[in-house]
């Protein structure tokens, strides 16, 4: 990476780290707090599944990478067609379980579309339409039921406040190496519960989620700092939560009294990425 690009990325990462405690809160967008529980209809996510089958590389090291540079014109068009299909629907016409899959798949597909629109950028922090913005999360991405919607809207005004489920954080992918994986399966009404639980366990048991460094310090993802209250009310509660789900260090976590180090790698989750040791 050129020195100027690396410097820019470091500056952006520093800015985000400084504001780590100021991540958006869960504030309900009341408009979307409605559902049709008696509706058995499903939403077809086959086009998204096809994209995942073709372009997601499931890593032996536990990190899934996307073959962004290999996505051809036809599959870009298919991705756009999928997003247009979702845009034409009103999720409130569906049951809650169907809505969850709708919003998760929409978020992840939109994020992929963003990355494809910035092929020269090394991090999603440098993608976005606003001057001096950090990332694309406040850009209006799509219109649903006549309402412009951003990625932050989906995550913080719809998914988090309506479902009130900490596992939502493990379903959404921010196109970065430290982010929970983009799942190789499209979310559906039938598999969402299983995927949410499996991805929670997988992330907590991966070094980018929880690890001890060479000095014996506990290093955890900044997700647990940005959204601390989604996981626990205090430090002890966080350690208990991680210990409950962590297979390798649960005894150490249960007795740990040292400093907690928060870490996050914003390098793009593309197949060509060089992962930090």
Mean pLDDT of 37-46: 97
Is residue 115 within 8 Å of residue 124, measured between CB atoms? yes
CA separation (Å) from 14 to 17, 79, 99? 5, 33, 35
**For 71-100, what is each residue's pLDDT tens digit?**
999 999 999 999 999 999 999 999 999 999
Q: Which of 225, 212, 202 is nearest to 17 (CA)?
A: 225
Write a three-state SS string for 189-216. Answer: CCCHHHHHHHHHHHHHCCCCCEEECCCC
pTM above 0.75, yes or no: yes
**Domain residue extents for the chain:** 3-204
> What pLDDT does residue 249 have?
72
CA separation (Å) from 135 to 55, 124, 127, 145, 236? 23, 6, 5, 25, 32
Cα dihedral sign for 103, 104, 109, 114? positive
Residues 6+ apart with CB under 8 A from 236: none
**Beta-carbon count within 10 A of 154 CB:** 25
Token digits for 112? 């992929």
Token digits for 163? 């479902």
Mean pLDDT of 43-68: 97
What percent of the chain lies above the pLDDT cut of 90? 83
> What pLDDT does residue 22 have?
57
At residue 174, does pLDDT exceed 70?
yes
CA separation (Å) from 268 to 30, 183, 249, 264? 33, 16, 28, 12
> What pLDDT does residue 274 have?
45
At residue 128, does pLDDT exceed 70?
yes
> What pLDDT does residue 238 have?
95
At residue 247, does pLDDT exceed 90?
no
Top-confidence residue, 143 or 9: 143
**For 216-244, what is each residue's pLDDT tens digit?**
999 999 999 999 999 999 999 999 999 99
DSSP for 54-102, please give it. Answer: HHEE--TTS--EE-GGG--HHHHHHHHHHHHHHHHS-GGGS-HHHHHHH
> What pLDDT does residue 17 have?
45
Q: Determine how β-strand 218-221 pairs with β-strand 260-263.
A: parallel
30 backbone dihedrals φ, ψ, rounded to 5°: -55, -30
**For 23-32, what is each residue's pLDDT tens digit?**
889 999 999 9
Confidence class of residue 255 from pLDDT cuts 50, 70 and 90? confident
Mean pLDDT of 185-195: 98
Please state, in angstroms and rounded to a whole number, the distance separating the CA atoms of residues 189 and 191. 6
């Amino acid at each position: 990476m050129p020195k100027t690009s690396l410097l820019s990325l470091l500056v952006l990462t520093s800015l985000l780290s400084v504001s780590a405690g100021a991540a958006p809160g869960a504030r309900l967008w009341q408009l979307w707090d409605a559902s049709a529980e008696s509706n058995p209809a499903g939403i077809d996510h086959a086009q998204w599944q096809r994209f995942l089958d073709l372009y997601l590389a499931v890593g032996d090291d536990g990190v899934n990478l996307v073959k962004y540079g290999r996505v051809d014109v036809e599959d870009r068009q298919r991705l756009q067609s999928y997003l247009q299909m979702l845009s034409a629907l009103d999720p409130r016409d569906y049951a809650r379980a169907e809505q969850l899959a709708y919003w998760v798949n929409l978020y992840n597909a939109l994020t992929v579309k963003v990355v494809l629109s910035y092929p020269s950028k090394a991090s999603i922090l440098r993608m976005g339409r606003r001057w001096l913005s950090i990332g694309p999360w406040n850009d209006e991405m799509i219109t649903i039921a006549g309402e412009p919607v951003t990625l932050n809207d989906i995550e913080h005004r719809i998914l988090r406040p309506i479902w009130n489920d900490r596992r939502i954080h493990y379903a959404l992918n921010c196109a970065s190496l430290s982010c929970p994986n983009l799942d190789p399966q499209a979310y559906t009404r039938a598999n969402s519960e299983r995927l949410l639980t499996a991805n929670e366990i997988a992330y907590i048991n991966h070094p980018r989620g929880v690890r001890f460094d060479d000095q014996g310090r506990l290093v955890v993802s900044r997700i647990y700092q940005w959204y601390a209250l989604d996981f626990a009310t205090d430090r002890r509660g966080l350690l208990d939560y991680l210990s409950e789900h962590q297979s390798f260090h649960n005894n150490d976590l249960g007795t740990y009294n040292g400093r907690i180090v928060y870490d996050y790698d914003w390098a793009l989750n593309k197949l060509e990425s060089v992962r930090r040791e």
